[in-house]
Amino acid sequence: MHYNTNVLRKVLILCCAIFVPVCALANDSGTQKNVMMSTTDVMKLAGDLVYAGEYEKAQDILVKMPQTYNLPIEIERWYLLAQIEQKKGNIDEAIKIYRKILDDQPDLAKIRYELAICYMEKGQWYRADYHLRLAMAGADIPPEIRQRMMYLRYIVRQNKRWNVWFNFGAAPDTNVNQATGGKECIRDTSGFGYLWCRDLPEPESAVGYNLMLGGNYEFVLSKNWRWKNDATIYTNVYDKHRYDDLYLSASTGPRYVWERGDVWLAGVANRSWYGWDRYNWALGTRLDINYDFTNKLSSGLSFRVMDNNYDEYGDYMDGQTYSTLPHISYSLDSTTYTVLRGTLEHNTAQNDAYANNRYGVSFGIGSELLYGFHVYLEPSFMWTQYQGERVYVKNNTPVIGKERDFLQRYSLSLSNNKFDFWGFVPTITVSYTNKDSNIHSREYEKISAEFTFQQRF
């Protein structure tokens, strides 16, 4: 990071009202003498020594300099210490210092930019990409630095050759079986009593333990061409094991990278179990496209075609899924970003009563806060229209019609970067889900909480 030196010195002079005694470095004759220097002069001297490559002398001044209560001066002091570590090749130490600065002042785009450079030097490309995207939204970034960031994002995109993700945690659920409860009856047409009644399943609470482990790797074929492979395993294990689930997924195919985006065409295979019984498997194709429009605005589009096969319910549910999943990301500033996602999905089935069209939208907003906190809030909405008619009960009367559902979900996630365990941070996610339907037995609501360790960015 290169500050505008003249502007910085003026800011420091205006902010500084404290004078501290320091020992000046050796003069031309090699002797030392005690002098009175303002903190502004000390910072200028240390900065000049850093840029001259005199790291040990600069570090000695900065470490021995008394702590002030002037925030700009303290930020500059810690920045220079991080620069020294970075230039000496102590990247991990530099990252710690930059993180410390951002914990106290998360809106400093230039510090976030330097942090991204450190992650690039460590080969942690996904983390570098996250901080570069936020840094580019900073209002005080000079045009030439912003242009350099665009080029660095291209370098990051070229080098995203591998990544590993791992989440583990507990997930209490107030309605794990997605039940509505109560009783459903059909009234006698004569008006005397009921011909038939049944008890609907009651909501069951459970505590689950979830695990997600995944990764991807790319073989470099040329400057722009890659062969990308990824795989994921996800499972929930509840205290009521009939609700346990296990999901496996793998994809492989060519990926093309250019300066502002990338395209990946891959074959996909999925396999799932429910209650430890085989549930379904699917084979298909995916096409993922990502593009950066501006320094703040990025978009993506994912197309999928899957052939679904059910182990026990194939005669009713076997069919195809055609889905389009667009998303738009926009960085408001160097701390806050938004994500708008959409879902367009068509599902066929052997029995039309299970075929449906789905339309969904969600809007997420995330922010890096003071003291290392990160918060993410996302409301989402899904509409489902089934294609075939079925018999259901409405107002105690049998009715023939098509099922129509509306699902809304609100989730809030909170984590803190100061609680870092080998690159993972504890994250709490609380969500409320409500499903409305024209078929009463298909309605439900629930509250769930997840306590997980997620990869830190």
| CATH number for position 52 | 1.25.40.10
Question: Which pLDDT does position 124 carry in this prediction?
Answer: 87
Query: Which ranges constitute the DSSP H helices of 278-358?
Result: 314-317
Number of domains the chain contains: 2
- In angstroms, what is the C-alpha Rg of the chain? 29
Res 2: pLDDT: 42
What are the tokens at 128? 């570098």
From the list 388, 382, 390, 383, the residue with the least C-alpha distance to 439 is: 390
Among 159, 176, 198, the domain-final residue is 159
Res 332: pLDDT:
93
Question: Taking a C-beta distance cutoff of 8 angstroms, is the pair 99, 418 a contact?
Answer: no
- Name which residue leads in pLDDT, 194 or 302: 302
What does the pLDDT read at residue 116?
93
Decide if 377 contacts 409 (C-beta within 8 A): no
Q: For position 19, what pLDDT does the model report?
A: 34
Q: What pLDDT score was predicted for residue 32?
A: 35
My answer on whether 287 and 363 are in the same domain is yes
Which has the minimum average pLDDT: 111-120, 167-176, 402-411? Answer: 167-176
Expressed in angstroms, the distance from the first to the final Cα of the chain is: 20
pLDDT at residue number 218: 93
Alpha carbons 357 and 186: distance in angstroms, whole number: 30
Residues 82 and 182 reside in one and the same domain: no
For the chain, give the mean pLDDT.
86
Bridge partners (DSSP) listed for residue 314: none
- Note whether 197 and 142 are same-domain residues: no
Residue matched to tokens 């708008």: 340
94 and 234, same domain (yes or no): no
- Mean pLDDT confidence for 264-292: 96
Can you give the pLDDT at residue 37?
59
Indicate the pLDDT class of residue 380, thresholds 50, 70 and 90: very high
* 90 and 178 assigned to the same domain: no
Mind listing the pLDDT tens digit for each residue in 30-52?
Answer: 333 333 457 778 888 888 888 88
More confident residue, 434 or 12: 434
**What is the predicted pLDDT for the residue at 22?**
37
How many residues make up the chain in this entry? Answer: 457
d(CA 226, CA 256): 6
For the chain, how are helix, strand and coil distributed in percent, rounded to 5? 25, 50, 25
One-letter amino acid of 283: L
Task: Give 179-192 pLDDT, tens digit per residue.
Answer: 988 888 888 777 67
* Sign of the Cα pseudo-torsion (83, 104, 133, 149, in order): negative
Which of 89-93, 153-157, 343-347, 436-440 is the least confident region? Answer: 153-157
pLDDT at residue 243 is higher than 50: yes
Does 169 lie in the same domain as 153? no
Say if residue 10's pLDDT is above 60: no
Q: Which two tokens stand for residue 410?
A: 């609100």
pLDDT at 418: 81
Helix axis angle, 5-15 to 39-51, nearest 10°: 160
Percentage of the chain with pLDDT > 70?
Answer: 92
> What is the rounded average pLDDT of the residues 104-109?
89
Work out the average pLDDT over 240-263: 94
- Is pLDDT of 16 > 50? no
197 with 149, same domain: the answer is no
Confidence of residue 348 (pLDDT cuts 50, 70, 90): very high
Q: Of 140, 159, 178, which one is at a domain's C-terminal end?
A: 159
Short-list 280, 289, 352, 355, CA closest to 322: 355
Q: What is the CATH number of the domain that holds 290?
A: 2.40.160.40
pLDDT at 8 exceeding the cut of 60: no
16 and 97 fall within a common domain: yes
Same domain flag for 185 and 327: yes
Tell which wins on pLDDT, 8 or 382.
382
pLDDT at 344 over 60: yes
Q: Which of 130, 159, 188 is the last residue of a domain?
A: 159
Do residues 119 and 181 both lie within one domain? no
pLDDT(15) > 60: no
Least confident of 123-137, 241-255, 376-390, 431-445: 123-137
Residue 117 pLDDT > 90: yes
pLDDT surpassing 60 at residue 5:
no
Cα 159 to Cα 125: distance, rounded to the nearest angstrom: 7
pLDDT of residue 191: 67
**Quick one: 120 exposed, middle or buried, by C-beta within 10 A (0-12, 13-18, 19+)?**
buried
Residue 304 has pLDDT above 50, yes or no: yes
Domain extent at residue 121:
5-159
Q: Are residues 261 and 348 in the same domain?
A: yes
Structure tokens at 5: 């030196």
Q: According to the model, what pLDDT value does residue 158 have?
A: 82
Question: Hey, how many other C-beta atoms are within 10 angstroms of the C-beta on 83?
Answer: 21
pLDDT at residue number 101: 92
Provide the pLDDT for residue 90.
94
Whether residue 178 is found in the same domain as residue 154: no
The model's pLDDT over 399-414, given as tens digits with 9 standing for 90+, comes to 899 999 999 999 999 9
